[in-house]
A = this chain, B = another copy of it.
Amino acid sequence: MKSRDDGATAGPQLGRRQFLGAATIGAGVAATGLSGPAAAYEGPSPQVDFPADPRTFGGGPPSTNNRAEIDLFDCEVEGHLPDLDGCFYRVGPDPQYPKPAKFSGDIPFDGEGHVSMFRIKDGHVDYRTRYARTQRWKAQHAARRSLFGMYRNPMTDDPSVKGLSRGTANTQLFVHHQKLLVFKEDSPPVYMDPWTLETRDDYYTFGGKLGSQTHTAHPKIDPLTGEYVSFGYEATGLASKDVHVFTADKNGNVTWGVTVQAPYAAMMHDFAVTQKHVILMVTQMAANLPQMQAGGVHFAYDSTLPVYIGVLRRGGDGKDVRWFKGANLFCTHVMGAWCDGDRITLDMDGGEGNQFPFFPSVREPFDPVKAQGRIRRFTIDLTRKSNDTYQVETLYPEVTGVLSRQDDRFHTLPYRWGFLSAGRSWAIFDHANKTSQLVTVPDYALSEMTFVPRKHDAPEGDGYLIGIGSSMKEAGRSDLILVDVKDIAAGPVARVKMPFKVVGQVHGFWADARQLPAV
């Protein structure tokens, strides 16, 4: 238990990953295969006790899971809070219930989505957290037990929940057309009220116009038009190769949609958008039906599969989609992308091998060295019709990390500033000068950061990095940290001191008050 506790101190997400990095590749497979359909639950709901073993779903010391829905009005603030008016939203998995023993090998990313919000205005900060009231959450809440089996494997569910959305809304969130949309890439968004965090729609389909059964956790906004650009993979059903790409205008009206076929069904966690193109990426983390049929999780990593980058024109009919191959890098998150005519540049972080050790590997065991992420700059030349390869260059090879970010106002455009979670630090990249800086806060392990512009019309990169720091001295506590990108040497400009460890996050998002509904 001690080692897990230490891991957790190193940041909600990082700690879990570090721990899981040491797990065997058998993780993600149910302890026993299923023989025939599972029985519907019966009898009184069991006492709630998560396992002590940190290798199991929700397991570890009692502080492993948070599960508490909180309102903390007027948080304590040290330093000088910048003159901001907006909300910092975060979401991550937070297991609602322990799994039955046969599913205890499920992965942490199958926890139910717990949304948190720091409302910042006039030098004051209010904190609020709520679980997304997904169809799944509501069914389990009523039954006081887990009813959904393994990660993205509907074959393992209790018969009582057949037909309900399996979505956990635990990965990323986004404000568009004045709605807080919360994402899990196997299902449509969940729409929550951006102020109250009340769930308004547990299955949001853009007024019935969503042409996919799924929706990415990483939609993009075109900063020039406010247009929402998004996609869903496995769009027509479990392990399907269909990828649906669509746009909605700034009011959320669907304006375009096409379905294309991926070379094979695999995890497509993020994507990129230029002013002209949509860029898809097929990783070697493939949907694995036999594994699901045996009661395991959705994906398995196969290093022998080729990585593909797909490109199609925005607004086209999809028939122009082209798939490019090249160095087999395992990339997860997009930093930025743009085009110069039909020459595309795409920056992602990625490793030479699998970065998700909690999924089974069908070939070699997990290799933590190959998993190390670096900034990979892909270039794709669409002008030569016969070209079917992408080029890739590693930028800043001295910096390793995950969870790329940029100043979100420059998605689709040439950009200068990029950000990365680098161990317990935040890395800042200046692509103009090809330099990198590290933001460290003594005695804190920093989680994923989000960039916040100093003003809504500030120049690119002029603003703050905001994110959670876990105190390494005060076990069980974490703070919100704000750093001025233009003066990182000064240390954090403000620290929002929380009385406890806040709920963990996968991703965060900053929404300026201008994007939010009038109060």
Contacts and interface: CB of A to CB of B under 8 A. Distances in A.
B70 A499 contact: no
A456 interface: no
Contacts of A48: 74-77, 124
Interface string A59-85: 001111111111111111110110000
Nearest to A140: B74
Given A48-B124, A77-B47, A477-B476, A68 B71 contact: yes
Contacts of A124: 45, 47-48, 144
A23 interface: no
Contacts of A70: 68-71
Contacts of A457: none
A498 interface: yes
B71 A144 contact: no
Given A67-B73, A72-B69, A77-B48, A62 B498 contact: yes
Contacts of A5: 474
Interface in A346-363: none
Nearest to A52: B78
A181 B47 CA distance: 31
A109 interface: no
A456 B200 CA distance: 42
A220 interface: no
A343 interface: no
A479 interface: yes
A366 interface: no
Nearest to A78: B49
A76 B47 CA distance: 8
A501 interface: yes
B122 A67 contact: no
A330 interface: no
A122 to B, nearest CB: 7
A118 interface: no
Contact of A63 (B63, B66, B500): B500
Contact of A141 (B68, B73, B80, B475): B73
A71 B69 contact: yes
Contacts of A500: 63, 68, 476, 499-501
Contacts of A50: 76
Interface string A127-150: 100000000000001001000000
A64 B78 CA distance: 15
Pairs of residues from A and B, 9 with the lowest C-beta to C-beta distance, nearest first: A476-B476, A62-B497, A500-B500, A68-B72, A69-B71, A475-B475, A47-B123, A68-B70, A48-B74
